[in-house]
Amino acid sequence: MTGAAADVSAAAAASLAVPPAIETHDLVKRYGGITALDGLSMRVERGEVFGFLGPNGAGKTTAVKLCLGMARPTAGSGQVLGAPLGDIEARRAIGYLPELFRYQQWLSAAEVLRVHCELAGLARREWPATVERTLEQVGLTERAADRVGTFSKGMQQRLGLGVALIGRPQLVFLDEPTSALDPVGRLDVRRIIGELRSEGVTVFLNSHLLTEVERVCDRVAIVDRGRVLAQLRLADLTSDRTVRIRVSGLAEADVPGHASPDGNDWRVVEDVAPDDVPAMVADLVRRGGQVHAVVPGAVSLEERFIGLLGSGG
């Protein structure tokens, strides 16, 4: 084997040896007689933005607590950054933005970040540059000296995001990071998430805003009643071959099988190759239909989400 080939083989072997950012197997968590997680299994790869979606009470927060070592599983196992759940050294490489948080109202934004520099174990000489960089990253440079008590909810959300980024973590958990933000703030969060991805940081995102998830995530897990119903690549949704046609003037017997009433019209949804769409439309017209719209494209994440929850998987 040549030297170059050996280097390639070694690099490939090394990449295979790197464990995923998160991997869980049949995690169970019970609180008394309540089962919050019921056999949760998932895998999150290094460097991806992973959306964790589910209705209230689905077990999302419990799953995050187990991954962070804030709670212990009743049964099952898991690893985070290659270490067992709750490992102290692994936790040093994790950033976390909880959904509900509060900082001391009398501290300034810069002081909050300095406190977390100390909690993260950063050398004191690194604090000024870290605070300056973080304030700029989350758009709070001009408010660095202002007390947290004067901040709007959106600015406090930005500060919380900054705290999660202290110490350049390898894995960041974000729980509803855009819930209090205006459109400009949501755009900034998307930008920050994109920058983290480009730096190889893994982002684990809890959110109820499915349109936001669609814009930033590589994959999503849809969870309900403590179990993962599906793990989906967003690229697979956008490459779906579904075509939607709105047509009027047809009796029910003349409408294709996958159709539903849409006011006075029919909404036809078919899985069809793009080249076959003209023939399908021509057939509807031949039957006497009037075609008002033809929309080829993807099933939305919201539709897939609702469909999975309705079917139980």
Looking at residue 267, what is its pLDDT?
Answer: 64
Q: Under a CB-based contact definition with an 8 Å cutoff, are residues 44 and 86 in contact?
A: no
Domains of the chain: 20-234 (3.40.50.300), 241-297 (3.30.70)
The position carrying tokens 């490992």 is 87
pLDDT at 4: 55
pLDDT per position as a tens digit, 8-58: 555 444 445 789 999 999 999 999 889 999 999 999 999 999 999 888 888
- b/e sequence 197-234, b meaning 16+ C-beta within 10 Å: beeebbbbbbbeebebbbbbbbbbbbbbbbbbbeebeb
pLDDT recorded at residue 298: 60
Which residues of the chain register pLDDT less than 50? 11-15
Cα–Cα distances in angstroms (integers) from residue 137 to residues 73, 141, 187, 192, in the given order: 35, 9, 13, 7
| Coil vs helix vs strand at 266 | strand
The Cβ of residue 52 has, within 10 Å, a number of other Cβ atoms equal to: 27
User: What is the pLDDT at residue 263?
Assistant: 60
Asked whether 256 and 270 are in contact (CB, 8 A), the reply is yes
Instruction: Identify the sign of the CA torsion 114, 115, 118, 124.
Output: positive
Residue 169: its pLDDT value, please? 94
Residues listed for the chain: 313
Q: Which residues pair with 84 in a beta bridge?
A: 79
